[in-house]
Amino acid sequence: MPRKENKKIFMPFLMAWSLLFGSFAMADDKDDVMALLDAYIETESDLVAQSKLMSEDRVYIVGAPAVRVTDNVANMKLQLLWEKRRKT
């Protein structure tokens, strides 16, 4: 029987703990994502600056039919080429 009583005490404590500290973790993640999005928006017209914000394992999908490029260096070369062609 003591086990059931322990559960009755432990579960509300666990839920309160999760609600209290879980919201801090989510808020921190949200702030990090928003900061990255703001930085990305600020560099919208500069692909080289944007490339510094991207992770090494990003995937670039372009064209019709779609081509999936998984090499980040090749991604940037391809994007810069497309941007240069678009501007001329």
| Residues 70 and 53 placed together within one structural domain of the fold | yes
d(CA 19, CA 27) in angstroms, rounded, equals 12
Number of H helices, E strands in the chain: 3, 2
Rounded CA Rg of the chain: 23
| Residues 36 and 72 placed together within one structural domain of the fold | no
- Which pLDDT value is given to residue 27? 61
Determine the distance from the C-alpha atom of residue 25 to the mean position of all C-alpha atoms in its chain, rounded to a whole number. 15
d(CA 47, CA 68) in angstroms, rounded, equals 18
Note down the domain range covering 17. 1-42
> Is the whole-model pTM more than 0.75?
no
Confidence of residue 55 (pLDDT cuts 50, 70, 90): confident
**Contact partners, residue 21, CB within 8 Å, separation at least 6:** none
| Residues 3 and 16 placed together within one structural domain of the fold | yes
- pLDDT (tens digit, 9 = 90+) per residue, 4-25? 566 667 677 667 767 666 656 5
* Mean of all residue pLDDT scores within the chain: 76
Whether 72 shows a pLDDT value over 50: the answer reads: yes
